[in-house]
């Protein structure tokens, strides 16, 4: 077994085998939370910071429990407090400023921040989010955190000589935040680096960032890396050298076309495989998800397979997100039972499809 994984197995887990189920992070916000934000941002509404904080607390409780109701083994609060994956952090890091929205495509915009001074650790980013969620949750809690390479790539850099230098500075700040998270009790931290998929030649920069992030992190803390929507052949097997226990990768959206990439060189770490599509509003059947999970077993043995959605679920309607998670958990439990019963010979599964 790679990495500290057994600690996340629930005491009442029904099967001998354990395919850990988790999520990538974001989840659709309740409509009333959007409304609360609007009220908070509008002037003269008599809806102050305290009211908005209360709304976010309520949403965090609700969505954490929604994950537990689905039976997810390692939960989070669906990032109810975060507005966007770069902006949220940039607002909390000294050295950033915001100048206005820029186009991503069509009429989709992003408030791309500028680094205008040396970046420094100021206020905590996610420690109170973690403390609140783990207080609410009965299950273990995972903390997704945007990685330094993505924070650097998706910002304007007015200060540092190049993006790598900025990324390394930010990596030191991520390390500091993780130290605080670990102190608060966090044992499962996922670094999100979607920018890596779009600029795969920079995998060495991401590697150096992760070395800085993992520095002095205790052995019993599980570190994961999430990458999505890219050409994995350009970063694999190089990424196996990163100091993390698990790689969380999107595969359903591309119809598992890239699965073979991970078979050509042995997958030596834990594989958190996307088994549900976050860009399709149709809830996959349990059978379909089971077939997807079996594809993961072609890459790693059950004790190293984590079952997860392709990416954050936040763009889906909430009932669809719920349905997908519920079916995902049921599919994982059924596969575990079949493995327990010896009905699924893992090696045979692998060779049958080869």
Partner 1 sequence: MTRVVATTPGLFPLPDWAKEDLSDLKGHQKDDLISGDESDEIIAAYNRARSEVIDRQQEAGLDRIVEGQLRWDDMLAHPLAVADEVEMRGIVRYYDNNNFYREPVVTDELSTTGDIAAELDSASEQVDAGLQAVLPGPYSLADLATDDHYGDEAAFLDGIAEFLADEADQFPDVETLFLLEPSLVENAPEDGEDERASEAIDTVASAVDADVVAHTYWGALEEKVYAHLMDADVDAIGFDLVSNHDENVYNVQEYGTKDDVALGLVDGQNTLVESPETIRERIDWFDDQTNGDYDTVYATSNTELFYLPVNKAEAKLDALANAAELEEVPQ
Q: Torsions phi, psi of 21, nearest 5?
A: -105, 140
- The verdict on 40 binding partner 1 (CB under 8 A) reads no
Interface pattern 291-330 for partner 1 (x via CB under 8 A): ----------------------------------------
Q: Is 112 in the site for partner 1 (CB under 8 A)?
A: yes
Size of the site for partner 1 (CB under 8 A): 22
Per CB under 8 A, 101 contacts partner 1 = yes
Instruction: State yes or no: residue 199 binds partner 1 (CB under 8 A).
Output: yes
**Farthest-apart Cα atoms in the chain, separation:** 66
Q: Of 104, 281, 347, 352, which lies in the binding site for partner 1, with binding defined by CB under 8 A?
A: 104
Q: Which stretch binds partner 1 (CB under 8 A): 53-61, 97-105, 174-182, 314-322?
A: 97-105
Beta strands in the chain (DSSP E): 20-21, 93-98, 102-105, 108-110, 113-121, 143-146, 156-157, 188-192, 222-227, 246-249, 270-276, 305-309
Cα distances (Å, whole numbers) of residue 163 to 101, 117, 158: 21, 14, 10
Among 1, 38, 54, 102, binds partner 1 (CB under 8 A): 102
330 phi, psi to nearest 5 deg:
-60, -40
Of 12, 14, 100, 343, the one binding partner 1 (CB under 8 A) is 100
The CB-of-230 to partner 1 minimum distance in angstroms stands at 11
Task: Read off the DSSP letter of residue 285.
Answer: P
Enumerate residues 119-178 that contact partner 1 by CB under 8 A. Answer: 153-154, 156-158
Q: Is 106 in the site for partner 1 (CB under 8 A)?
A: yes
DSSP character string of 70-96: HT-SBB--TTTT-SSTTHHHHTTEEEE
* Bond from prior residue into 345 cis (ω within 30 degrees of 0): no
Which residues of this chain interact with partner 1, rule CB under 8 A? 99-109, 112, 114, 116, 153-154, 156-158, 195, 198-199
């Amino acid at each position: 077994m790679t990495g500290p994984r057994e600690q996340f197995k629930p005491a009442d887990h029904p099967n001998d085998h354990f395919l850990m189920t988790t999520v990538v992070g974001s989840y659709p916000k309740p409509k009333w939370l959007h409304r609360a934000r609007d009220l908070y941002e509008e002037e003269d509404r008599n809806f102050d910071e305290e009211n908005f904080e209360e709304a976010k607390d309520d949403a965090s409780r609700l969505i954490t429990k929604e994950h537990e109701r689905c039976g997810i083994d390692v939960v989070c609060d669906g990032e109810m407090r975060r507005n966007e994956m770069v902006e949220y952090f940039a607002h909390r890091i000294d050295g950033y400023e915001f100048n206005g929205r820029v186009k991503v495509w069509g009429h989709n915009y992003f408030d791309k921040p500028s680094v205008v001074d040396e970046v420094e650790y100021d206020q905590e980013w996610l420690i109170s989010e973690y403390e609140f969620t783990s207080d609410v949750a009965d299950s273990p809690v995972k903390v997704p955190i945007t990685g330094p390479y993505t924070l650097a790539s998706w910002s304007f850099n007015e200060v540092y000589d190049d993006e790598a230098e900025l990324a390394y500075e930010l990596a030191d700040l991520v390390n500091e935040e993780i130290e605080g998270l670990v102190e608060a009790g966090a044992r499962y931290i996922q670094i999100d680096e979607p920018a890596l998929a779009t600029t795969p030649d920079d995998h060495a920069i991401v590697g150096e960032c992760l070395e800085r992030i993992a520095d002095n992190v205790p052995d019993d803390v599980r570190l994961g890396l999430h990458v999505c929507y890219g050409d994995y052949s350009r970063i694999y097997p190089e990424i196996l050298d990163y100091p993390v226990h698990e790689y969380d990768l999107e595969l359903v959206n591309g119809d598992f076309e890239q699965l073979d990439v991970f078979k050509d060189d042995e997958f030596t770490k834990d594989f958190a495989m996307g088994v549900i599509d976050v860009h399709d509003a149709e809830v996959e059947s349990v059978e379909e998800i089971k077939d997807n999970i079996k594809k993961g077993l072609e890459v790693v043995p059950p004790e190293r397979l984590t079952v997860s959605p392709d990416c954050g679920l936040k763009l889906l309607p909430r009932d669809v997100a719920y349905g997908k998670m519920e079916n995902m958990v049921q599919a994982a439990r059924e596969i575990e039972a079949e493995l327990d019963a010896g009905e699924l010979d893992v090696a045979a599964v692998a060779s049958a499809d080869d």
